[in-house]
Amino acid sequence: MKKKPEDYSHIKGWGIDADPENEPTYPIKKYTGDDHKRLSYAKPPQQPSKVEILHSNERPGLTSVFGTSSPPSGLSGLIRRHAFTYSEGNWGHWLSLILADRINVWEGIASDLMHGYIPNIFAERGWNAELKYNRKGAIQKVVTGVLVATVAAGLLYRLTRKKKKTHWL
Amino acid sequence: MIAMNFRGPFRVRADRNKPDPVIEHPEDAIVRVTRSCICGSDLHLYHGLVPDTRVGTTFGHEFTGEVVEVGSSVKNLKVGDHVLVPFNIACGVCPFCKQELYGNCHESNPEATAVGGIFGYSHTAGGFDGGQAEYVRVPFADVGPMVIPPDLDLDDAVLLTDVVPTGYQAAEMGGIKEGDTVVVFGAGPVGIMAAKCAWLFGAGRVIIIDQLDYRLEFAQRFAQCEAYNFRSLSDPVLFLKKTTDYFGADVCIDAVGCEAAGSTLQTITGRKTLLQAGSATALHWAINSVKKGGIVSIVGVYGPTGNLIPIGNVVNKGITIRANQASVKRLLPKLIEHIRAGRLNPKEIITHRVPLEEVSDAYHIFSRKLDNCIKTILIPPSARA
Ligand SMILES: [Zn+2]
Ligand SMILES: [Zn+2]
């Protein structure tokens, strides 16, 4: 170990919260005697549920309060409902939710369009900031993107042409 | 009202038509936001790494605001109070809250039992809308929120909702003894704060590791610690062993979580293909560079699925691992005392102050680490008038 310097006084408050009892698992558990009362505590009143709330199957029902943001809907909603048939320790639960999230993005775009709103994806991705603080990088990215797209289109064209040829033979 | 609106990975916008929140429970309050922050853990949502982050939700778990309405059973708050709101939503009466484990409340998140409710942090943390908006619904208003003392700066206050207590608890969980060598992985706001707080527990040497020079320079200045870029070290674990006489650090703190860089395998399995709950690179380094019998303290956010963890080394080395979401409420009185005495100066980490309407750019800047960004505060139009 590096020898500790003798004087730490230049650091404001040095050692002020040191507690020799803190070894090794601090914060030391605060025992309340309630550990085994489990569900018999005085549960706060129940928030009424006006929208669909999915709940973990590792608990009996809803918690006293919950958020009501973005209830499950559409195809992603179906997948989310399915996800909640698995417990939290199961990959089926989380991977289904991630899949639902990806589908939900497309549903979001569809919903924007249905409400007559054309999302400005350039602005939503914060590319104005990229242009302002990293103009060179931004231009490089666009150029690379266009190049990749051109090459991909070229390859696709050649492949389809070849395919057509074989077909004629 | 105007609110941040998540549209998918890397896509957010400020929408003007989000309905104002309403009282849904007798213990609710409605708060008009005066400050909200973008947190490093918001980036995990922004990058699409946290399951059940639904399109249309509003992020933001670090905010201050003025109480504009209270539910029928709220006693400690009244309309007009200016409050700071801890990121954890806690009931105050369940067995976990009674133990002051406010991050583990059993009555605020129906969607998962492992974590309690968190404002604006996906449905996995309860599906609550967050504070990157003009108004927020604050459940259990008598438990979490604290009226901001008149002598406390609003910028310090908003950082007390997460960054300061999380950094402090990271150091606290490390059980730091006088003279200990403490290594912090990650020089984001929480890592910087953890490094700073390590001194309060009597550390003898504090080292911070990151991949961005501007953050390391900032950390070095702010937390008076040694700072190293792992990109310039061929093997950070070996470096840390060498610099501790081949012994290992007494305490290692993981302040990075699921988006750690530095290992291709972890990046592919954890960040690109999501086969594990984020890349566990920082955690690997922490476990491998701590001394035998040392303590690893984790406050970095990981997703809920499995991770590839070197558990064999945990066993072989007899390491104690401590980890949790910070119990903000438990720590507030002590931290306010430290701020008053000038031992902590949180607001110095704020580098950006952005109107809420420009939230898309603010996220992009923080995510891409442009413009030397450390910490961004969003200010809604109604707080600027
Ligand atoms: Zn945070
Ligand atoms: Zn509780």
CA of B109 to the centre of ligand 2 (A): 10
The residues near A41 (Cβ < 8 Å, ≥ 6 apart) are A34, B93, B94, B95, B98
Q: Cα separation of B118 and B161, whole Å?
A: 11
pLDDT given at position B176 = 93
CA of B41 to the centre of ligand 1 (A): 6
Q: Cα separation of A134 and A70, whole Å?
A: 34
Nearest chain B CA: its distance from A142 CA (Å): 16
Nearest chain A CA: its distance from B95 CA (Å): 6
A148 pLDDT higher than 90 = no
C-alpha count within 13 angstroms, C-beta hemisphere, residue B226: 13
> Which pairing describes strands B82-85 and B63-70: parallel, antiparallel, or unpaired?
antiparallel
**Optimal mutation site among B52, B61, B107, interface A, most CBs of chain A within 10 A:** B52
pLDDT given at position A169 = 44
Q: For the segment A121-146, what is each residue's pLDDT rounded down to a tens digit?
A: 999 999 999 999 988 888 888 888 88
**Optimal mutation site among A3, A8, A19, A26, interface B, most CBs of chain B within 10 A:** A26
Which of A24, A63, A123 is nearest residue B108 as measured by Cβ atoms?
A63
For chain A, the straight-line distance linking the first and the last C-alpha, in angstroms and rounded, comes to: 77
The residues pairing with B226 across neighbouring beta strands, listed in sequence order, are B207
pLDDT given at position A6 = 63
Which of B57, B106, B205 is nearest residue A2 as measured by Cβ atoms?
B205
- Residue B183, φ and ψ in degrees, nearest 5: -110, 130
Q: Provide the residue type at B46 as one letter.
A: Y
Q: Cα separation of B267 and B374, whole Å?
A: 23
pLDDT band at A154 (very low <50, low <70, confident <90, very high): confident
| Segments in chain B below pLDDT 50 | none
What the block records as the tokens of B98 is: 């009674």
pLDDT given at position A75 = 98
Which of B54, B200, B245 is nearest residue A104 as measured by Cβ atoms?
B54
Give, in order, the Cα–Cα distances in Å from B22 to each of A131, B77, B125, B139. Answer: 39, 17, 20, 11
Residues of B in contact with A43 (CB under 8 A): 93-94, 107
pLDDT band at A5 (very low <50, low <70, confident <90, very high): low
CA of B376 to the centre of ligand 2 (A): 30
What the block records as the tokens of B195 is: 């490094």
Q: Cα separation of B380 and B375, whole Å?
A: 17
The secondary structure element, H or E, covering residue B146 is: strand B146-147
> Which pairing describes strands B375-379 and B350-355: parallel, antiparallel, or unpaired?
parallel
CA of B137 to the centre of ligand 2 (A): 18
Q: Cα separation of B164 and B339, whole Å?
A: 10
Q: For the segment B104-155, what is each residue's pLDDT rounded down to a tens digit?
A: 999 999 999 989 999 999 999 999 999 999 999 999 999 999 999 999 999 9
ipTM: 0.90
Asked if residue B363 lies in contact with residue B20, where contact means CB atoms within 8 angstroms, the answer is no
Ligand with minimal distance to A34 CA: 2
Q: Comparing A162 with A101, which gets the higher pLDDT?
A: A101
pLDDT given at position A32 = 76
Q: For the segment A11-70, what is each residue's pLDDT rounded down to a tens digit?
A: 999 999 988 776 555 456 677 777 777 778 889 999 999 999 999 999 989 999 999 999
Average pLDDT for A141-158: 84
Asked if residue B6 lies in contact with residue B12, where contact means CB atoms within 8 angstroms, the answer is yes
Give the three-class secondary structure for B373: coil
pLDDT given at position B316 = 82
Q: For the segment A88-111, what is each residue's pLDDT rounded down to a tens digit?
A: 888 899 999 999 999 999 999 999
Which pairs with CB-CB distance under 8 Å and at least 24 residues apart come from A102-108? A102/B48, A103/A74, A103/A75, A103/A76, A103/A79, A104/A74, A104/A76, A104/B8, A104/B54, A104/B55, A105/B7, A105/B8, A105/B9, A105/B11, A105/B55, A107/A73, A107/A74, A107/A75, A107/A76, A107/B55, A108/B7, A108/B8, A108/B55, A108/B56
pLDDT given at position B79 = 98
Which of A19, A59, A124 is nearest residue B360 as measured by Cβ atoms?
A124
Residues of A in contact with B201 (CB under 8 A): 15, 17-19, 22
pLDDT given at position A91 = 86
pLDDT given at position A145 = 82
